[in-house]
Amino acid sequence: MTLHRSIRILGAATGRGAGDVGCQSGPEALRRGGFVSRLAQRGLDASWEATLRIAPHGDTLPAVRDLSTRLSRRVHGLLARGGTPLVLGGDHSCAIGTWTGVAAATRPRGALGLIWIDAHMDAHLPHTSPSGNLHGMPLACLLGHGEEALVSVAGSAALRSEHVCLVGVRSFESGEAELLARLGVRVIFMDEVRRRGLADAMQEAHAIATHGTAGFGVTFDLDALDPEDAPGVGTPEASGIRQHELVPELAPLGADRRLMALEIAEYNPLRDQAGRTAAVVEAVALAVLGVPAARIAAGAMRLAA
């Protein structure tokens, strides 16, 4: 049975945290493409609340901080009114705003857990990042490390390391790996996913995010998937998770009443091919938000026809 959730969608139209700014067009491309109506056709109570945009000029750091602050407040407000936020990026620096807002809403009842599905660790500090791109730093900031202007969006660390699990990582630098190892964050690398099976890896991630927490969330960077399934991303990495493997393993998350929010980041419509990546966004959203796999597949067949 599908849980009733009031899905309230926020677009985070930012590309300034990335090397390729094309993903700033992602949220509006999805909205104009009928994303909300297709969620509704699968039985979800969904509405598009707003698309938040980043300042187009000036220094990047204060612009990202401003967007993160506004996004955090909007997410917190949606949760306070009983909604389930679905944040669509934009580059993954949007995670700073999304999860500080969810953590603030959860804090009166306890800690927040987070499943981070990504090809990358996104845990750089300014001095460990080869590019300096802010979309490579959000997890470090959420754990209370890195750029003070971004860490301070939450006032302090939004997440505790023992409640975070990364899945699908296969591209990273030593500095961020050393930080996460020192903090004790569980990272399930892609080779381990292949060895154990994705179902087992996702079960562990779910257990970590729900043990000793009041609720949990899921942040999904589309580059976690193999580029064959999701070409519309700014930083594709070969040998990723396949869509047909992932979507069924998201069902237990959608069936859990403790799910607080979902974030899907890094959709770049300028790099998409025949709408394949947009279709992935829809399939992941449906699965995490509790739509049975058979209904997702039936809808996909109707679209293909």
| Residues carrying an active site annotation | 92, 118, 120, 122, 135, 221, 223, 266
The DSSP output letter for 146 is: S
The total of other beta-carbon atoms located within 10 Å of residue 211's CB is 12
CA distance 284 to 269: 17
* Residue 59 burial (C-beta neighbours within 10 Å; 0-12, 13-18, 19+): exposed
Beta strand ranges found along 45-173 (DSSP E): 45-53, 84-89, 112-117, 164-169
Q: Closest by alpha carbon to 202, among 264, 249, 234, 170? A: 249
Q: Closest by alpha carbon to 224, among 115, 150, 66, 301? A: 115
Q: Write the Ramachandran bin of 132: left for phi over 0, alpha for psi from -120 to 50, otherwise beta.
A: left
* Residue 297 burial (C-beta neighbours within 10 Å; 0-12, 13-18, 19+): middle
- Amino acid identity of residue 27, one-letter, is P
Give the DSSP H/E element, type plus range, for residue 32.
helix 26-32
